[in-house]
């Protein structure tokens, strides 16, 4: 009789345990699906990074030939040489300075003259 009680109790406990195992199996399947999606995203990011780096023509100026430089778009561009133009003034600017100085002195004299009249 006692053995019948223990066998009944064991069977009774097995059924809820089986239901919980079914729930755990379902959760394990969902976890596996989420892990697969996460792994796929990581693989896509790694492949994208490899492809982007493979497309680059250069990474530094040394990768390009002479008279060329590596631009921010990672492509070699021709170096544009800008020549300086030297502007030579015939009068050297002393005429403009003389006129400006004379105008300042004249304005000072006029203002002082008007001040003395008032």
pLDDT digits (tens, 9 = 90+) for 64-75: 888 899 988 889
Q: Which residues contact 63 (CB under 8 A, 6 or more apart)?
A: 57, 70, 76
Task: Please give the model's pTM, rounded to 2 decimal places.
Answer: 0.40
Q: How far is CA 10 from CA 7, 13, 59, in A?
A: 5, 5, 71
**Strand ranges inside the chain, DSSP E:** 68-70, 76-78
Gap between the Cα atoms of 39 and 26, Å rounded: 20
User: What integer pLDDT is reported at residue 48 of this predicted model?
Assistant: 93
Domain residue extents for the chain: 2-83
Gap between the Cα atoms of 15 and 110, Å rounded: 116
**Residues 61-112: tens digit of each pLDDT:** 888 888 899 988 889 999 888 887 877 766 667 888 899 999 999 999 999 9
């Amino acid at each position: 009789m006692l053995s019948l009680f223990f066998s009944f109790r064991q069977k009774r406990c097995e059924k809820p345990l089986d239901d919980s195992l079914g729930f755990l199996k379902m959760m394990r399947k969902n976890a596996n699906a989420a892990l697969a999606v996460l792994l796929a995203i990581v693989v896509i990011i790694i492949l994208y990074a490899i492809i982007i780096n493979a497309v680059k023509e250069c990474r530094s100026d040394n990768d390009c030939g002479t008279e060329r430089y590596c631009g921010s778009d990672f492509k070699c561009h021709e170096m544009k040489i800008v020549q300086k133009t030297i502007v030579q003034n015939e009068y050297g600017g002393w005429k403009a300075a003389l006129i400006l100085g004379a105008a300042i002195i004249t304005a000072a004299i006029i203002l002082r003259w008007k001040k003395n009249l008032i």
